[in-house]
Amino acid sequence: MSRRVRFLFSLAAAIAAASLLAASLRRRAQPPRLPDQLVPGPMAARNRSFVLWLHGLGDSGPANEPIRTFFAAPEFRHTKWAFPSAPNSPVSCNNGAVMPSWFDIHELPLSPGSPQDESGVLKAVENVHAMIDREVAGGIHPDNIFVCGFSQGGALTLASVLLYPKTLGGGAVFSGWVPFGSSVIERISPEARKTPILWSHGIADQVVLFEAGQAGPPFLQSAGISCEFKAYPDLGHSIAKEELSSLEAWIKGRLKASQDKQS
């Protein structure tokens, strides 16, 4: 296969993954925009929890905002949502093509043995931590903060919650992978090891292979971290409604436990 054909195949795979996610979300009717859930303002003081969603390669934060429409339970009435966009950067797996990317990706499809951009991941983690710190400074308890992400955003989610110095409400990884080696385990604080992880992955995923997702729980177990792993048959590199329903129930349970603990 020529270099140009490989490039086009990789680029098409990345863009197709982002398109699948956007299409699956647009199937659900979108309600009017809720500024108080996304931007600090007069309602900000009422926020009791925070959900940060990190998108995948080539996607954008605004394209993922319909995700919040799946979270209609009363527990999310005072939840602040944030959907940041990754900076535009050259991506190695696409022959240096510039696109929204949290860090570099060297090859697609991703497998457990794929090379990692650890320095880029750690730099992106710093930016995520700054977003979390702002919410904590604004009065939201770390136990009520949840970081979630799809694909590349899922890998960044994992890195961000593991390296945050405090226990968070949880981290939810969708079709992601472990973006660094085992040497990072010694940098995980005792408090961060208490943050629960929800990991969801489609068995038919051909972009981030299911085997890459399966490598997550053993990695976390070696660090003494709890992980709930859910496999979805016939699901490719996309997000299913069932995954978001599971996430809603998962977060609700942790919000209730947090409220009971703080009362």
Cite the active site residues: 151, 205, 237
**Are 100 and 58 contacting, i.e. CB atoms less than 8 angstroms apart?**
yes
Measured in residues, the chain has a length of: 263
Query: Which among 71, 66, 77 has a CA at the least distance from the CA of 28?
Result: 66
Cα(165)–Cα(156) distance, integer angstroms: 16
Q: What is the dihedral of CA 104, 39, 253, 86, to 10 degrees?
A: -10
Per-residue tokens: 164: 């945050």
Strands 49-54 and 145-150: parallel
The amino acid occupying position 74 is P
